[in-house]
């Protein structure tokens, strides 16, 4: 599995466990740094950072008050939107 796929999986899991709903989005209610996500993904920080930046450029991810916002992701939704 590629780093970006692993990053998306980890972010979905964190959103399911620690997410706060926002209209059509989910905010992960944990202050995460790139190094934290890299550890959870099992990848180096640099590769994880590239994946996170790509998700931001694609409009799937945003940072709000040092928290990650998964755009278009709603835990438990039958159909996933936003490419998650």
Domains of the chain, with CATH numbers? 3-71 (1.10.10.10)
Task: For residue 78, give the DSSP letter.
Answer: S
Specify the pLDDT at position 77.
64
- How many Å apart are CA 57 and CA 55, to the nearest integer? 5
Alpha helices in 19-82 (DSSP H): 34-41, 45-57
> Is the whole-model pTM more than 0.85?
yes
Instruction: Calculate the alpha carbon distances from 76 to 5, 27, 29, 79 in Å.
Output: 19, 14, 17, 9
Q: Is the pLDDT of residue 9 over 70?
A: yes
Task: For residue 64, give the DSSP letter.
Answer: E
Q: What is the mean pLDDT of residues 16-43?
A: 94
Specify the pLDDT at position 22.
86
Q: Do residues 61 and 71 make contact, with C-beta atoms less than 8 angstroms apart?
A: yes
Specify the pLDDT at position 84.
77
For 41-83, write each residue's pLDDT tens digit. 999 999 999 999 999 999 999 999 889 999 999 887 655 555 6
- CA-nearest of 38, 1, 32, 39 to 15 is 32
Query: In which band, very low, low, confident or very high, does the pLDDT at 23 lie, cut at 50, 70 and 90?
Result: confident
Specify the pLDDT at position 48.
98
């Amino acid at each position: 599995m590629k780093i970006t796929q692993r990053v998306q999986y980890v972010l979905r899991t964190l959103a399911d466990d620690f997410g706060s709903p926002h209209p059509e989005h989910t905010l992960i209610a944990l202050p995460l740094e790139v190094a934290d996500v890299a550890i959870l993904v099992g990848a180096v920080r640099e590769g994880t950072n590239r994946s996170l930046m790509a998700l931001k450029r694609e409009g799937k991810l945003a940072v709000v008050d040092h928290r990650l916002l998964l755009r278009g992701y709603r835990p438990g939704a039958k159909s996933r939107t936003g490419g998650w």
